[in-house]
């Protein structure tokens, strides 16, 4: 459904996208993962015909973004990083306006407007001004405008950025729900987002493709060993960190224990275990038997940076800000 081949985009001196190639099959929901400045938005803007590539090709449903942009646009719904919303318009008026731009009219237009309002759970704000809506509602109106013409492909640029946890869940559920009918690419810089929503993942860093794989395979590749975080408190007085560390390291199957955080009365350790070993039960027993309190024990979430480190063996990716600072100094 989407084919990208050796795609490159340069802005003045920055190579924002550097010869990336990938494919997305019909009906897939794909996470486009990378830190700030990786080139996600640039790639999405090329796919949606807002920007021409500097080199390479991109096509949607067999139509090239440069040669047949109108055909591409017909088949794509786009939610940009900042939803294209006019604060002084009402929800209904706005959706009718976007629908008309996409070539809908009359009864068809009204039917689609009703449908997307229902679908995106915005029916109760139909007559509200967009400027007065909460961020969560605004994002759902953004999704509604993206699907108004029932496109084959949805391109969603950081659809949950800036939302609170409840809104994130609602938006995620909605996206998953839409996945049955549309091929979806969504970008994010948050790894759990991809795990919870997507089947496939494309990782880019500094404009380059780092990996493209199923979420399952990626996890397996990235995670050689299991890691847990354990929060321990002393019952009678301050903890002796080296003693605790030694104790944890003695648990069978534990390869490493590192103190990540400590205060007067408690400490958090990250404990790595050998591949395939389940050590949580033994860890908990060891802590309690030593006379300490076990406040918390949870899997250590792998950060994007850690996945990057493991996949690429390079340093953690630079933040967009840093890149910009370097730019303005050079």
Ligand X SMILES: Nc1ncnc2c1ncn2[C@@H]1O[C@H](COP(=O)(O)OP(=O)(O)O)[C@@H](O)[C@H]1O
Binding site for Mg ion (CB under 5 A): 40-41
Based on the shown chain and the rule CB under 6 A, indicate whether residue 16 belongs to the binding site for ligand X. yes
C-alpha pair distances (Å), 167 with each of 41, 161, 189, 229, 250 = 22, 10, 17, 27, 43
| Residue 324 interacting partner from Mg ion, ligand X, none (CB closer than 5 to 8 Å by kind) | ligand X
Task: Pick the closer one to ligand X by CB: 16 or 60.
Answer: 16
Task: Pick the closer one to ligand X by CB: 13 or 235.
Answer: 13
Closest approach of Mg ion to the CB of residue 270, in Å: 30
Binding segment for ligand X (CB under 6 A), chosen from 67-75, 129-137, 237-245, 319-327, is: 319-327
Hey, which residues between 18 and 47 contact ligand X (CB under 6 A)?
34, 36-42
Based on the shown chain and the rule CB under 6 A, indicate whether residue 11 belongs to the binding site for ligand X. yes
Query: In Å, how far from its chain's centre is CA 175?
Result: 12
| Residue 42 interacting partner from ligand X, Mg ion, none (CB closer than 5 to 8 Å by kind) | ligand X
Based on the shown chain and the rule CB under 6 A, indicate whether residue 14 belongs to the binding site for ligand X. yes
| Residue 320 interacting partner from ligand X, Mg ion, none (CB closer than 5 to 8 Å by kind) | ligand X
Q: How far, in Å, CA of 60 to CA of 245, rounded?
A: 54
Long-range contacts: 11-20, Cβ < 8 Å, 24+?
A: 13/327, 13/330, 14/323, 14/327, 15/207, 16/42, 16/207, 17/42, 17/43, 17/46, 17/53, 17/204, 17/207, 18/206, 18/207, 18/208, 19/55, 19/56, 19/208, 20/56, 20/204, 20/207, 20/208, 20/209
Q: Which residues contact 328 (CB under 8 A, 6 or more apart)?
A: none
Q: Which residues contact 259 (CB under 8 A, 6 or more apart)?
A: 241, 244, 245, 267, 268, 269
| Residue 39 interacting partner from Mg ion, ligand X, none (CB closer than 5 to 8 Å by kind) | ligand X
Based on the shown chain and the rule CB under 6 A, indicate whether residue 323 belongs to the binding site for ligand X. yes
Task: Name which position in 85, 268, 302, 324 contacts ligand X (CB under 6 A).
Answer: 324
77 in helix, strand or coil? Answer: strand
User: Count residues contacting ligand X (CB under 6 A)?
Assistant: 14
Closest approach of ligand X to the CB of residue 301, in Å: 21
Closest approach of ligand X to the CB of residue 20, in Å: 12
| Residue 150 interacting partner from ligand X, Mg ion, none (CB closer than 5 to 8 Å by kind) | none
Residues that bind ligand X (CB under 6 A): 11, 14, 16, 34, 36-42, 320, 323-324
């Amino acid at each position: 459904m989407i084919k990208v081949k050796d795609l490159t985009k340069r802005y003045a001196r920055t190579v924002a996208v550097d010869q990336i190639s990938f494919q997305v099959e019909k009906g897939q929901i794909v996470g486009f993962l990378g830190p700030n400045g990786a080139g996600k938005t640039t790639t999405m803007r090329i796919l949606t015909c807002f920007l021409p590539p500097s080199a390479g090709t991109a096509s949607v449903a067999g139509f090239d973004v440069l040669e047949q942009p109108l055909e591409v646009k017909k088949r794509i719904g786009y939610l940009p990083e900042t939803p294209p919303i006019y604060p002084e318009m009402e929800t209904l008026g706005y959706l009718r306006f976007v629908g008309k731009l996409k070539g809908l009219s009359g009864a068809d237009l009204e039917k689609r407007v009703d449908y997307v309002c229902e679908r995106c759970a915005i029916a109760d704000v139909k007559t509200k001004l967009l400027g007065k809506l909460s961020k969560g509602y605004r994002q759902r109106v953004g999704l509604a405008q993206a699907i108004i013409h029932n496109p084959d492909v949805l391109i969603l640029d950081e659809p949950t950025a800036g939302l609170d946890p409840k809104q994130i869940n609602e938006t995620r559920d909605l996206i998953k729900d839409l996945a049955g009918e549309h091929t979806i690419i969504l970008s994010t810089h948050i790894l759990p987002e991809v795990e919870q929503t997507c089947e496939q993942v494309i990782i880019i860093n500094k404009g380059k493709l780092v990996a493209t794989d199923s979420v399952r395979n990626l996890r397996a590749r990235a995670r050689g060993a299991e890691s847990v975080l354990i929060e321990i408190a002393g019952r009678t007085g301050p903890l002796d960190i080296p003693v605790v560390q030694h104790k944890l390291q003695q648990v069978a199957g534990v390869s490493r224990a590192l103190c990540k955080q400590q205060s007067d009365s408690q400490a958090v350790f990250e404990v790595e275990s050998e591949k395939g070993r389940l050590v949580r039960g033994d860890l908990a027993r060891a802590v309690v038997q030593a006379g300490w309190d076990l406040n918390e024990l949870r899997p250590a979430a792998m950060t994007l940076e850690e996945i990057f480190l493991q996949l690429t063996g390079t340093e953690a990716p630079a933040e967009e800000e840093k890149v910009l600072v370097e730019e303005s100094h050079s």
